[in-house]
A and B are shown apart, each in its own frame.
Chain A
């Protein structure tokens, strides 16, 4: 049993959004439905204002509120620390989208943000949301773990690339894209990250580099006061910062 987690070094992240694109291609996401997103923030005011950004995958929380609120147990915590959705059980009540403090969940049955509506350009014939010309091989579709192109009327989210990571040999401390032995098991966003700002490994394995990074560089979790205990840690260092707000507010309206 592992407890897979991610470390994102904000000092190294350039906000290029290659992670977003790699995730979309790997998981056949609709345009704008970014399981992995990069959020932008304006901080301060002229002349000392600056632009900051925050890459945000699903946090795969230890105490995931989305798991607790799901009335059908469609959302569940896997033994290896993944928070996943069983699409065969999801009733589309969207309570998990309400309860996730990080806004990482998506419901595809809505008005599309970009035109043309790709669901109409590449319509699905077998009850899925769409049938894109690029997609992972059919045999890798795994609705019980929320992998692949989702059926209609269910919620979807980042799986930490479950279809890759779950095949890693047991006891592997880190999934390093630069190590040929572990590259194919590493999440797409980690593989593609040009400045190598992302690290992925077993948070419970004493030999893992992610543990070392969290300890030595004082890794922090978003919104820790919610008690969700994310398995994604951010390293802010001296040059970067964690956004002070989750959204828009800098002062009272």
Chain B
């Protein structure tokens, strides 16, 4: 079967190969492919020649940067799925113009996250059969793996339905509701994978799932502001989406960031106050570069930039703020990972705190992940008309 020749029920080609990609889409596709290709080749070469010794992880620090990076992409994916549900599930019609783009971004960030996860695991192919047959319902990672797999499947079905013009059918609504519920569960269980670890007090928190869902949503808002701006500058802004981009999304960015800052402030203060062993990681974090990137670059500067209505409406300010937040939250994921592991578990007084800095191979996973996202985003922009939206008849 030639899948490139497939057509939608209304007769349009499923993949619009005859249209020519615009400059920005082509640049993203080719640039992303080159960056991802080169980075992944080096990482795979290092893994084949040195094994996981190519990473700076150790038995004292088992989870390294790849976990933080895949966490970033998986949570961004869940957040994007939530944004796409604001219209398809909750009927907030203002968000129709970004629904399809959000689903596509959600799919490709999930693909990037899964790729990084596979490069972190010792036996990634064994996972494919060992997790489904184990039925280990007590493990948050088991739930997370299953939820994210179902999430990917539902996102693909939802995207197919929208792409084939089924925006308002009953089955689209049902799939959308299912997709929304699963993405909340998926990012929530990712939070539980950390939040349930009582033996790692810097992570242990019943609020962790909520924090993951919230920061995932915030990352998604930054993603959509940033990625839409990239294409918008070239294509010009369609009239019917101007309100969304100049007013609604920037305001959502500001308010959500405020919520993230308040939550994070609570975590920091609790950590600094607590005498519980393991929580001293919060004191150590005050001297960490990652912590300051998170707080200043990711939170304070974007919050200040987006605090006035005039600046919020400025495309450049929006792009910069979104980019800064993405850098900050990227650092935050890595910082969270380090905090939970730097106070060692029963290694004796002489062992000291665990020092961890990602290796060159681990850093390469950043261009690898973003290369995949840019490549697939460019391809989606070219082939799938991501700006397409069909609001219901009563929308205005």
Contacts and interface: CB of A to CB of B under 8 A. Distances in A.
Contacts of B198: 65, 101, 226-227
A109 to B, nearest CB: 4
B229 interface: no
Nearest to B143: A71
Interface of B: 51-53, 55-60, 62-63, 121-124, 126-127, 130-131, 134-136, 138-142, 145, 193, 197-200, 275, 277, 280, 283-284, 340-341, 343-353
A42 interface: yes
Q: Is the interface of B mostly helix, strand, loop or mixed?
A: loop
A69 interface: yes
A164 interface: no
Q: Which of B122, B277, B280, B343 has the largest number of chain A CB atoms within 10 A?
A: B122
Interface of A is mostly: loop
Given A72-B142, A152-B51, 19 more contacts: A39-B347, A39-B351, A68-B139, A71-B141, A89-B126, A92-B121, A94-B122, A97-B62, A101-B198, A101-B345, A103-B344, A103-B346, A103-B347, A153-B52, A153-B122, A245-B277, A246-B347, A247-B347, A248-B343
Contact of B345 (A71, A109, A153, A246): A246
B59 A249 contact: no
A74 B63 contact: no
Given A93-B141, A226-B198, A153 B123 contact: yes
B193 A95 contact: yes
Interface in A206-250: 222-223, 226-227, 243, 245-249
Given A93-B122, A153-B52, A249-B280, A41 B136 contact: no
Nearest to A108: B59
Interface residues of A, number: 53
Contacts of B134: 71-73, 89
Interface string A84-118: 00000111111101111111111101111000000
Contacts of A222: 346
A60 interface: no
A38 to B, nearest CB: 8
Contacts of B126: 72, 89-91
A241 to B, nearest CB: 13
B59 A33 contact: yes
29 contacts: A41-B348, A53-B348, A65-B198, A68-B136, A68-B138, A68-B139, A71-B130, A71-B136, A92-B121, A94-B122, A97-B62, A103-B345, A104-B346, A107-B57, A107-B59, A110-B52, A152-B51, A154-B122, A222-B346, A246-B277, A246-B344, A247-B277, A247-B344, A247-B349, A247-B351, A248-B343, A252-B283, A253-B280, A253-B283
Interface string A47-76: 000000110100000000100111111100
